[in-house]
Structure 1
């Protein structure tokens, strides 16, 4: 667990609960001056992000309510611009614009990327910048997959502030049809 994550997640109330539950001592080292990391994506995170065809995104409303939404698209639709910046083309959905409205007042965002077959989970915290279709057409063209039938309405650029890998202990194994067919073909080759 990297320091950047601990600095964001371990608020005084979290540390109090860790003390009450007996885990504060084991996590204290993450906030020590020697601790580092977690603010720049490494090859491991970049490869993981590249394989995802969706993620969960959390924002917070002006009234303090969290809002979690699933975002999906073709693999690589969550693009890595550099080791501290990721972005995606935002396509029209149900037109409620809850995430967009929340981000217009509070740029903080949290993502959870899942790999259900391998029981892996990556959490990312960041701050967003929104670019409309006319604001940065070059960036929209760069992030839009020409083979994807939807047209982007905007681009969401996320400056990564921290990430953390979660424990796989309670992640159920699930497969997309494509992943299941791959597993079945491997098993057929073995048998």
Structure 2
């Protein structure tokens, strides 16, 4: 947990819940430490390397009516980038044209992000403030964030100034694997299957010749 995470996440209502369930002592120290620390929390090498390996994440925004909205964002591995110690960004590809997240950000720049690693049961939670940069405004930046070989239209770039983050507990995360992640394990099995089929064919042919 970064220094300022508790100062953002642990509201009075949250603290009441922690008090009720006996965890207020531990987490209140985190909250007080965060409030006393100046500035915002920098990402470390661990977070940067983790985010660079993601091919998707979930982002929450808040609408003008106060309703939260959670959206899945995906792309090739590496489309989510760490720009510097305090900034992450990604190419926002054309989707179903609802533009709910983009519209919400015009009212409220605050976002919450969860980046999952289902294979190793890890998740990183991020608080930040987002800035939308359209292709018309900064075509060079948009081009820099495009992914070579990926057939998708980049409409804008979303840049998020990270204010705090937390590595969440791995409990209750179900392991899931993509086809690419399974390929290293499946390839030897496929080769073995081909070899067994070839051997089986030779044995059948040899038996047929004996008959």
Q: TM-score, normalised by structure 1?
A: 0.92
In 2 relative to 1, CA 171–31 (structure 1 residues): closer, same or farther, beyond 3 Å? same
Task: Name the counterpart of 2:207.
Answer: none
Task: Name the counterpart of 2:171.
Answer: 169
3-state secondary structure, aligned to 2:13: helix
In 2, Cα distance between the equivalents of 1:6 and 1:182?
40
Q: TM-score, normalised by structure 2?
A: 0.84
RMSD: 2.1
Task: Name the counterpart of 2:11.
Answer: 11
**1:1-191 aligned within 5 A:** 1-33=1-33, 39-185=41-187
In 2 relative to 1, CA 167–33 (structure 1 residues): closer, same or farther, beyond 3 Å? closer
CA contact (8 A) 1:117 1:174 kept: yes
Query: How many pairs does the alignment contain?
Result: 189
Pick which of 118-127 and 26-35 moved more.
26-35
Indicate the structure (1 or 2) with the bigger Cα radius of gyration: 2
CA contact (8 A) 1:2 1:38 kept: no
Spell out, residue by residue over 1:46-90, the C-alpha distance to the aligned partner (whole angstroms, 9 max, x if none). Answer: 000000000001001111111111000011101111010011111
In 1, Cα distance between the equivalents of 2:29 and 2:188?
43
Mind listing any 5+ residue stretches in structure 1 that lack a counterpart? none
